Chain A
Amino acid sequence: MSTSHPQQRQSLAALYQPLPIRRTMFNVGMSAIAFALTGLALLPLLAILIEILRQGLPHLKWEVFVSLPAPVGVQGEPNGFANAIIGTLMMVGFASLLSIPFGVMTGIFLSELGQGTGIANFVRFITTILTGVPSIIAGVFAYGVIVLTTKEFSAVAGGFALSVLMLPVVALTTEQALRLVPTNQRLASAALGASRLQTTFRVVVSAAIPAITTGILLAVARAAGETAPLIFTALYSEVWPEGLFSPTPALSVLIYKYASSPFVEQNQLAWTASVVLVGLVLCMSVLSRLVTRRRFN
């Protein structure tokens, strides 16, 4: 039993003393602010989703998927945006045809052929910069290259603009997907006498196919929701699309046109189209994220 030194006893007591009130207040106060701001960040998402469902769901009937937009003021005629859905599918399809080969090949270059070299780093840097190109610039580019040359607003121009936006997304997600394939599999394949072509496609790419598909889905979802690149490349029309070389409606452009329309019925149709578009886009991105998470975490 030793008697402790008075000084030592004091410092032991300090261990059990709570923090000075100022420091405690600062800590608690900052936590409260951080949580309040996080709540504030979630507010718009909820507000937007609730408003879309509230305004759009009641009018979501089968006829909107099969009929053309009804002329303003006409009562009792089926009102819908089937032409815009077809237009969006046409342009996103065309954009996929252009961007998927380029994107996947660039991803293969980044992860397989060029990996570790300076050239690959440069290509990756440029691709990353491409993801930051504003969507309206892709539209301006397609306008300059295709619309001014062919003197025609067309689905081709719209699809081309969308492909510029899809390409870097596909390329970078493909690279990520390929990198997750273990190196041992490449070595084993090479050791068995496979050529580089065989190793890349039969072993590496085929193992990464689900993840690559996820990236493509994300890019498609992004492209389907884009408006800015389409307004002055594909323009818009109220009739069925007439082929690849004429003005083509799109779901997103229809929402834009009808949102600022003075007619309530058109505003209404814009909300209904939003339910369809948001449903499509959110499903695709949530789905793709869930798939990636399950595979890689």
Chain B
Amino acid sequence: MQERSEQASNQFRAGINLEITTAGEENLWLDQGFTWLVRSFAFGTVILLFWLVWAIFDKAQPAIQKFGLSFLWSQDWNVADLSFGALPFIYGTLVSSAIALLLAIPIGLAVALVTSENFLPPSVRSPLAFLVELIAAIPSVIIGLWGIFVLTSFIQPIQQWLYQYFRWIPLFSTDPSGYGGYGMLAAGVILAIMILPTMAAISREVLLAIPKELRSGSMSLGATRWETIFGVLLPAGRSGILGAALLALGRAVGETMAVTMVIGNSPTISASLLDVGYTIPAVLANEFGEALDDLHIGSLMYLALILFTVTLLVNIIAVLMVRLIGRQGKMPGF
């Protein structure tokens, strides 16, 4: 409702081309100055993104020149020998994010459906959505603290059980008993918790934006609620929901503290989810403070550049997909 009136007023503004510049002499200069001031500040914001990319690219030069693209598939990471390779970190980032998405997509969709359909009275629905979004307001380091002291000891027996009965599956093939619950699985679960609000909030927006006529049309043809959801609503919101999942992926890939605190921080590549791992943000957080050598700093910058490129691409695609569904510029940031 409010959205609609806002749109109407915007169309109105666009239609009449709001040109409210004054003709008065003494005000003219002030007005022009003000216009340019605002423009330059806005320009500054745009420049910031390009400055970010350029600064990181520039500082990564020592490593880019030394290793080139082979950095991407080299597995060594030895500060003493100054040999650096990104593969274990790329692998850890991808696997932990994949676990997180696998968990967060169904749960996030369920939350979005429960809080957008009329299962519950509206007075329960919005507070419920608000509570789920509240997870995003908790600082990541505190979720990590909880991860260290609560989640790992909760997850350890589950890992033992998986190892005991499913060790023939490569995913559960390593003995987790020495790791105390730390590892890839714990990192994936904690990431899922952290990206859940993004997934739920944006899917909810997307579902709410689907025209009412589609829902009533399907219902009037005799479809049950869930037949309507699977046959009409989810297909209609497909691109928006995919966009939500991509935005969640973007957050998962760049999430640092909570992952660093529970993943075990060991640059190993293992098919097993019960093994420890390392991610790009985690190695940046752990090593930047102590990096002295130019090549070491350069390699860390190179890692940051890879991470940044991936998140930029994922975010750009996600923003475009969410926009396809209509509600421009309305992104619940956190």
Contact = CB atoms under 8 A, between A and B. Distances in A.
A190 to B, nearest CB: 4
A124 B148 CA distance: 39
Contact of B42 (A30, A109, A277): A109
B299 to A, nearest CB: 12
Contact of A34 (B22, B114, B333): B114
Nearest to B190: A44
A179 interface: yes
Interface in A256-295: 256, 259-260, 267, 270-271, 274, 277-278, 281-282, 285-286, 289
Interface in B97-121: 106-108, 110-111, 113-115, 119
Contacts of B227: 23, 26-27
B109 to A, nearest CB: 8
Interface stretch (A3-11, A47-55, A66-74, A75-83): A47-55
A138 B141 CA distance: 16
Contact of B20 (A55, A124, A196): A196
Given A116-B14, A140-B56, A105 B22 contact: no
Nearest to B230: A30
B110 A38 contact: yes
Contact of B139 (A23, A190, A278): A278
Contacts, number: 306
Contacts of A134: 250-251, 253-256, 281, 307-308, 311
Given A136-B281, A196-B21, A260-B261, A106 B41 contact: yes
B150 A47 contact: yes
Nearest to A52: B142
Contacts of A260: 148, 261
Contacts of A259: 141, 144-145, 148-149, 261
B271 to A, nearest CB: 26
Contacts of B59: 144, 148
Interface in B210-235: 224-227, 229
A86 interface: no
A136 B42 contact: no
Given A42-B131, A144-B56, A172-B329, A136 B254 contact: yes
A296 interface: yes
B139 A141 contact: no
Nearest to A137: B308
B259 to A, nearest CB: 10
B254 A255 contact: no
A118 interface: no
B326 interface: no
Contacts of B111: 37-38, 41
Interface stretch (B45-53, B79-87, B156-164, B172-180): B45-53
Contacts of B200: 41
A227 B9 contact: no
B196 interface: yes
Contacts of B170: none
B331 A131 contact: yes
B115 to A, nearest CB: 8
Interface residues of A, number: 114
Nearest to A105: B41
Task: Please name the 3 residue pairs, one residue from A and one from B, whose CB atoms are nearest each other, closest first.
Answer: A134-B254, A225-B139, A105-B41
Interface string B38-65: 1101101110110110011011000000
Contacts of A41: 107-108, 110-111, 132, 196, 200
A227 B22 contact: no
Given A126-B49, A130-B45, A137 B307 contact: yes
A199 B39 CA distance: 17
5 contacts: A34-B114, A44-B193, A130-B45, A195-B21, A195-B30
A228 B281 contact: yes
Question: Which secondary structure characterizes the binding site on chain B?
Answer: helix
A133 B311 contact: yes
Interface string B270-303: 0000000000010011001100000001001100
A245 interface: no
B261 to A, nearest CB: 6
Select the residue from B22, B30, B131 with max chain A CB neighbours within 10 A: B22
Select the residue from B114, B119, B330 with max chain A CB neighbours within 10 A: B114
B139 A226 contact: yes
A102 B41 CA distance: 6
A92 B331 CA distance: 24
Contacts of B134: 45, 282, 285-286
Contacts of B312: 129, 132
B167 to A, nearest CB: 27
A136 B319 contact: no
Contact of B146 (A47, A110, A131, A148): A47
Given A33-B110, A44-B193, A196-B21, A109 B225 contact: no
Given A197-B27, A278-B142, A37 B45 contact: no
Interface in B229-277: 229, 247, 250-251, 253-257, 261
